[in-house]
Chains A and B, each alone.
Chain A
């Protein structure tokens, strides 16, 4: 373990990280956001879901620096007297959770199908690639909306309960294509290399060759892709929640907070919707910048 860490700190990736102010800045912002989200229960000054502590007399207070604001509520309160800053942290937790799990799931589906297509070839390959072609001709947000809609129609009673599962499946099914195509491409190259042929000659089971020998050699690009997709998945989740077909309002994500705040825009309470928006952009932008940096750092041609 110690040796592995030592290797990492001596390696190219760490070197390029230390010399890229943009990457350091983005990593800091992302780390703060993730920290606040994960430890929302300890970090947040209030618990926005604890009804006992809510006071309606504190509703719609502006941020602390505006006239009428209170220091207790740094970023103001919403219509039910919930502290915006705390709601942000809890909301970010749900956004990051949905985004992260969706990416994980789409990586599993995409890498699995890509490996299968590249390794088996023939009809299986042709079929999977045609499905990819069809899916690529539509924007992912539309596919996610459709899957979400179909899911809602199938389980109308349990909509509240299953909303998270439906949402995660919808997002991951609309983003797996990229992984499948990338992995298939690298698998086609790896398949004909000597070590695979050697394994075949020894009589290793094809499934074992696929997962133990080929898989570790095709995961490089997947890592970069996954980083960028985390930002995309978070934005997709926020968009779906904003459209009212995402997470249930009882567990608001950043998108839900923006949707709710949108109703108060015209009465002048801009902070209810603007701060969740800023948080969303901060997360998406920092993750995007990190992904860009990682792509360049891992690209041997740019070294």
Chain B
């Protein structure tokens, strides 16, 4: 158990170091930071002074260590485009993205699981087949197209929902939330639904497949033989065992939600981290890109780690075999 946890921790650390290294390389070798700060026509002395000041004359490992030290304190320098501290920019945008991703995850779970159960239990009926066809469309449609179609229907044609921005937000300390106003909720509907569709379809298909698998197993036959009601068999026995993989996948997908929010935020001009990142890519704003990369990597690594450990705690078979732990 301890060895497993230590190995996973070491792996997570290695991934983070690799990502930090890539971010550092971006910083160092893509575009000249001195020219970026001083402009083209600075004197050679000025450049040398700034170079020494920034520590750019130090050997490579020292610079990398300094970069890691700064990154650990959330310090990524100034945005080249906006002239503000990257950490402040990201802190300002983070709540919007997190609220969007969480709402999307809740929608995907609350709608996806019941639909998946229905599609499994009523297999062959036309409504269940319709659900499956819709889910196939859901995994094939690109996210940005879903967003555009929703805007076309609900914002342009029907005119019932707003299509850009967060609306009215309330500041709670450093956290700006749209959850507390009606306007904020209205603005949240279309982006959250857009972001959730793909995950919803994925969860639906997963629940259906797992449910069909479980319903074939011996203990379900046994439960039926004991004369339990359909309700007890389906929801007490079958669904419960379906949930383990579903929770794993959902946990892993939370990270993708934050990443895919880039697209949704662009379509709806949602003022989150994704929009910040896309603007950084368009204008080659390296510090913002590097900071976003490290933050996203951290989120992914932490989620993967937690899911792995949870899996280990939930599934006793892994403990006996001393297996390699879920996925790579």
Partner-B contacts on A (CB < 8 A): 130, 132-134, 136-139, 141-142, 145-146, 148-150, 152-154, 156, 231, 235, 238-239, 242-245, 258, 262, 265-266, 268, 270, 273-274, 277, 280-281, 284-285, 288
Q: How many residues of B contact A (CB 8 A)?
A: 43
Task: Tell me whether A281 and B281 are in contact in the complex, defined as CB-CB below 8 angstroms, given that A134-B18, A266-B156 are known contacts.
Answer: no
Closest to A156 in B: B284
Contact of B280 among A139, A149, A266, A270 (CB under 8 A): A149
B304 touches A277 (CB 8 A): no
Q: How far is the CA of A140 from the CA of B280 in the complex (A)?
A: 18
Residues of B contacting A152 with CB < 8 Å? 281-282, 284
A242 CA to B147 CA in the complex, in Å? Answer: 12
Chain A residue contacts of B286, Cβ below 8 A: 153
B149 and A277 contacting across the interface, CB-CB below 8 Å: yes
CB-CB nearest in chain A for B257: A139
Residues of B within 8 A of A (CB): 11, 14-15, 18-19, 26, 30-31, 137, 140-145, 148-149, 151-152, 155-156, 256, 259-260, 262-263, 266-267, 277-278, 280-282, 284, 286, 289, 293, 296-297, 300-301, 304, 328
Q: List 19 A-B contacts (CB under 8 A).
A: A134-B18, A137-B300, A145-B262, A145-B277, A145-B278, A152-B284, A153-B31, A156-B284, A242-B263, A242-B266, A245-B281, A245-B282, A265-B151, A266-B155, A268-B156, A273-B152, A280-B145, A284-B140, A285-B140
A245 touches B328 (CB 8 A): no
In the complex, chain B residues whose CB is within 8 Å of the CB of A288:
140
Q: Ordered nearest first, which 8 A-B pairs have the shortest CB separation?
A: A149-B281, A153-B284, A153-B30, A142-B259, A133-B328, A277-B145, A235-B142, A242-B144
Q: Which of A262, A265, A274, A281 contacts B140 (CB 8 A)?
A: A281
Task: Name the prevailing secondary structure of the A interface residues.
Answer: helix
Option from B15, B149, B266, B281 in Cβ contact (under 8 Å) with A137: B15
B151 lies within 8 A of A239 (CB): no
Chain B nearest CB from A289 CB (Å) reads 9
Among candidates B142, B143, B281, residue contacting A280 with C-beta atoms closer than 8 Å? B142
Tell which of A138, A146, A231, A244 touches B282, judged by Cβ atoms closer than 8 Å.
A244
B151 partner residues in chain A, CB cutoff 8 A: 265
**Distance of A146 Cα from B289 Cα, bound (Å):** 8
Instruction: Tell me, rounded to whole Å, the shortest Cβ–Cβ distance linking B18 to chain A.
Output: 5
Q: A239-B142, A270-B152 are in contact. Are A154 and B30 (CB under 8 A)?
A: yes
Q: Which residues of A sit under 8 angstroms from B26, Cβ to Cβ? A: 150, 153
Chain A residue numbers with a CB within 8 Å of B137 are 285
A235 to B152, CA, bound (A): 21
Contacts of A136 in B (CB 8 A): 328
Return chain B residues, CB-CB under 8 Å to A148.
281
Most chain A beta-carbon contacts within 10 A, residue among B19, B141, B148:
B148
User: A261: nearest residue on chain B (CB-CB)?
Assistant: B148
Interface class of chain B by DSSP: helix
Instruction: Across the interface, name the chain B residue whose C-beta is closest to A142.
Output: B259
**A142-B259, A239-B144, A265-B148 known; A244+B278 contact, CB < 8 A:** yes
Bound: A268/B155 CA distance, A: 11
Cross-chain contact of A277 among B30, B148, B260 (Cβ < 8 A)? B148
CB contact between A281 and one of B11, B145, B259 (< 8 Å): that residue: B145
Q: Which A residues lie within 8 Å of B300 (CB)? A: 137-138
Docked-complex contact A243 and B289, CB < 8 angstroms = no
Whether B152 pairs with A265 at a CB distance below 8 angstroms is yes
Specify which chain A residues have a CB less than 8 angstroms from the CB of B141 in the assembled complex.
281
Contacts of B293 in A (CB 8 A): 146
The CA of A238 and the CA of B278, in the complex, are separated in Å by 15
In the bound complex, residues from chain B placing their C-beta under 8 Å from that of A239 are: 142-144, 263
B156 and A270 contacting across the interface, CB-CB below 8 Å: yes
B-side contacts of A156, CB under 8 Å = 31, 284
Please, how many angstroms separate the alpha-carbon atoms of A154 and B284 in the complex? 9
List, in ascending order, chain A residues with CB within 8 A of B304's CB. Answer: 137
How far apart sit A81 and B15, CA to CA, in the bound complex (Å)?
51
Q: How far is the CB of B191 from chain A (nearest CB, A)?
A: 15
Give A107 to B260 CA distance when docked, in angstroms.
25
Chain A: which residue is nearest B30 at the CB level? A153
Name the residue among A137, A154, A238, A274 with the largest chain B CB count within 10 angstroms.
A137
Residues of chain A within 8 A (CB-CB) of B140 are 231, 281, 284-285, 288
Distance of A145 Cα from B26 Cα, bound (Å): 14
Rounded to whole angstroms, the CA-CA distance of A138 and B149 in the bound complex is: 27
A257–B152 Cα distance when bound, in Å, is: 16
Q: Report B2 CB to chain A, min CB distance, Å.
A: 22
Task: Give the residues in chain A near B263, CB-CB below 8 Å.
Answer: 141, 239, 242-243
CB pair B18–A145 under 8 Å, yes or no, is: no
Cα distance A152–B280 in the bound complex, in angstroms: 11
CA distance A245 to B285 in the complex (A): 13
Chain A residues whose CB sits within 8 angstroms of the CB of B149 once the complex forms: 274, 277
| A266 (CB) vs chain B CBs: closest residue | B156
| Bound: A284/B136 CA distance, A | 12
Nearest neighbor of B288 in chain A, beta-carbon distance:
A149
Additional A-B contact list (9), CB under 8 Å, known A137-B304, A243-B262: A133-B11, A134-B18, A149-B289, A156-B284, A238-B142, A238-B144, A262-B148, A281-B145, A284-B142
Contact across chains for A139 and B259 when beta carbons are under 8 A apart: yes
Cβ of B288 to closest chain A Cβ, rounded Å = 10
Q: How far is A149 from B277 in the complex, measured between Cα atoms in Å?
A: 10
Q: How far is the CA of A23 from the CA of B137 in the complex (A)?
A: 17
In the complex, what residues of A have CB within 8 A of residue B148's CB? 258, 262, 265, 273, 277
**Bound CA–CA A152/B286 (angstroms):** 10
CB nearest to B280 among chain A residues: A149
Closest to B327 in A: A136
